[in-house]
């Protein structure tokens, strides 16, 4: 396994819409292992492939219940609303409040290509939304502004 350099805000790859994964190759399985290693090394709870310079729809997550990878994750249902503090390994030193759905249902493939459905709440729901945003070129700092705007109304 290898610890990969994490791309920081300002890097174009963080603003690209990542490509769907068509095939789970050995190379991509190794990439997933390296992403998990990199996430732990940086004390993160989630990491998206664009953050290590790969513009593909792959995320890894561990909110304290063990690591897992999701490939081509899609939010199928979202409900409720919660505001809490977030940070991002690509934006060191910044933490702020972000409004997220409290519950999400996410469909994806696991690292063996098997379809999985995750019914998430709390921190896991927040983490999944944050990481899936990365696959669409969205950073949490984009959403702080929206929350502040709403508060001003």
Q: What residues line the site for Ni ion (CB under 5 A)?
A: 88
CB of 84 to Ni ion, least distance (A): 14
Which token pair is 48? 């998206």
From 77, 82, 86, 131, the catalytic residue: 131
62 closest CA partner among 131, 143, 119, 8? 131
Q: Which is nearer to Ni ion, 52 or 108 (CB)?
A: 52
CB of 7 to Ni ion, least distance (A): 10
**Closer residue to Ni ion, CB minimum distance, 95 or 114:** 95
Q: How many CB atoms lie within 10 A of CB 32?
A: 21
- CB 12 to Ni ion: min, Å: 16
Beta bridge partners of residue 69, listed in sequence order: 60
Q: How far is the CB of 9 from Ni ion (least distance, A)?
A: 10
103 vs 141, beta carbon nearer Ni ion: 141
Distance CA 83, CA 153 (A): 17
Question: Which CB atom, from 31 or from 50, has the smaller least distance to Ni ion?
Answer: 50
Give the span between the Cα atoms of 118 and 83, in whole angstroms. 21
CA 53 – CA 47 distance, rounded (Å): 11
H-helix or E-strand spanning residue 33:
helix 26-41
Annotation marks residue 131 as catalytic: yes
Report how far residue 124's alpha carbon sits from residue 7's, in angstroms, rounded to the nearest whole number: 23
Catalytic sites, residue numbers: 131
């Amino acid at each position: 396994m290898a610890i990969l350099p994490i791309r920081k805000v300002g890097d174009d790859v963080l603003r690209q819409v990542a490509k769907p994964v068509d095939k789970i190759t050995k190379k991509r399985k190794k990439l997933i292992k390296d992403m998990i290693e990199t996430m732990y090394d940086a004390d993160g709870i989630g990491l998206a492939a664009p953050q290590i310079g790969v513009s593909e729809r792959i995320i890894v997550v561990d909110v304290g219940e063990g690591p897992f990878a999701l490939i081509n994750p899609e939010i199928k249902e979202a409900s409720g609303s919660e505001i809490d503090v977030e940070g991002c390994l690509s934006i060191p030193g910044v933490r702020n409040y972000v409004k997220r759905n409290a519950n999400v249902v996410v469909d994806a493939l696991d690292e063996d290509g098997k379809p999985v459905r995750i019914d998430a709440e709390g921190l896991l729901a927040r983490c999944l939304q944050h990481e899936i945003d990365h696959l669409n070129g969205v950073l949490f700092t984009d959403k702080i502004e929206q929350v502040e705007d709403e508060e001003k109304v």
